[in-house]
Amino acid sequence: MTRFLVYTAPATGHVLPLVPGLLELRRRGHAVHVRTHPGLVADLRALGLDAAPVDQRVVDVPVTDHEATSDTDRLRAGQVDLMLRGRFDGPDLRAAIDAVDPDVLLVDAISYGAQTVAEASGLPRALVLPSVLPLPGRGVPPYGLGLRPMRGPLGRLRDAVLMKVVLRMFGRAMLPGLNDLRRAEGLPPFADALDPYRAPDAVLALTGEPLEYPRTDLPEHVHLVGAQPWDLPAERPAWLDEPGDPWVLVTCSTDYQGDEELARTAVEALRDEPVRVLLTVADAYDTVDLPEAANVRVERFVPHGHVLPECAAVVCHGGFGIASKAMAHGVPTVVVPFGRDQPEVARRVVEAGAGVTLRPRDLSPVRLRDAVADARRLAPAAAAAGATLRAHGGAGRFADAAEALAPAADEEADRALSRG
């Protein structure tokens, strides 16, 4: 039996995709302890996982990138906030290590302080990423810009030049704060923005084809374990089974991102169309001001697993969770990416033939209505993409990659005994 300590960022989209793999580890006889968002602790315990909340101070640091007015400022603001969280999530992980005495650490990619403490601990560890992979690769466009893949000499030149630009941009945003955290733990500074993905014993990226480009040159420690779409158990709403026009799911970010304009525009775009619109607005439920529409149902949240089988299309912000769930169900998607990893998610949806993308600055009722019509015509391709996605995922792949770290833990224990 191996004791796994899992430390997640306090964001729903960084927790739920891990659950299938964590339950598989438990089924195989391992002990799994999760430190996560306080609001999810009871749900995880109900599934049989050992769970406890992260330090409330981690949760209390807001991520304010949605308030920025440019892409550069948005990137910088997000990284500054995550580094502020790192001042608390690092010590929080150290306390969890003392309490749990784990053999293996699985630590969220954006919990930078926890990543740093995990490295300093000397324990076998994996960086866990529930999104597309930012590492460069043969034929893979530089991360963050949402670029189309470009083949041939011109494509290689474009990618090489822009990769330097991207690394400089991300490095300026993240390295000062991250290296402060590293110096506090007695670790050498990182030289570029890719070093966090080179340092761990393993990287478990919860993505796979077609939400990930074909990779022929991945480092051996990087594992594409496939997307793991999953919802918390919940009762199916009876109104989903009422007869009527097909459903279109319009969903804003579960963790607030200031994307209410997507909700407002979707109501204007679809209120006279022969569809029923389910609009989920999460934390904006009590504040968002929406136009009236007889065919629109507004909810705080509805489990996607209940809704997606009934959907003709999805309109979303491009969070990896909803994009992967829609694709897994073969539902064509309109992605309006507001920031973070969303331009890359949008590009992969388009390249898979599973949907279309619309830039936020181009968002209007007419354009969004046309985009939904365009996406619905892609239904056969979206179904094919879903079959590919399902074939490249599964809880077993996650558990296999996590278990591969366990022998190193056993060897460390043997060395400790020999020293004792």
Contacts of 164 (CB under 8 A, 6+ apart): none
Residue with structure tokens 């906030």?
81
Q: What is the pLDDT of residue 261?
A: 87
Given a contact cutoff of 8 angstroms between Cβ atoms, the answer to whether 125 and 147 are in contact is no
**Does pTM top 0.75 for this prediction?**
yes
| Count of other CB atoms within 10 angstroms of residue 46 | 11
Residue with structure tokens 């490095």?
171
Between CA 399 and CA 420 the distance in angstroms is 32
Examine domains 3-228+393-419 and 238-391 and report if their fold is the same. yes
- Point out the residues of the chain with pLDDT beneath 70: 255-256, 258, 283-286, 407-420
* SS3 assignment, position 250: strand
Residue with structure tokens 């591969």?
404
Number of H helices, E strands in the chain: 15, 13
- 3-228+393-419, what's its fold? Rossmann fold (3.40.50)
Q: What is the pLDDT of residue 276?
A: 95
Given a contact cutoff of 8 angstroms between Cβ atoms, the answer to whether 40 and 18 are in contact is no
For the chain, the domains span 3-228+393-419, 238-391
Between CA 214 and CA 351 the distance in angstroms is 12
Q: What is the pLDDT of residue 334?
A: 97
Q: What is the pLDDT of residue 409?
A: 47
Q: Does an H or E element contain 125, and which?
A: strand 125-129
Report residue 139 as tokens.
């034929």
Q: What is the pLDDT of residue 190?
A: 97
Residue type, 65: D
Q: What is the pLDDT of residue 73?
A: 78
Given a contact cutoff of 8 angstroms between Cβ atoms, the answer to whether 331 and 304 are in contact is no
* CATH number of the 238-391 domain: 3.40.50.2000
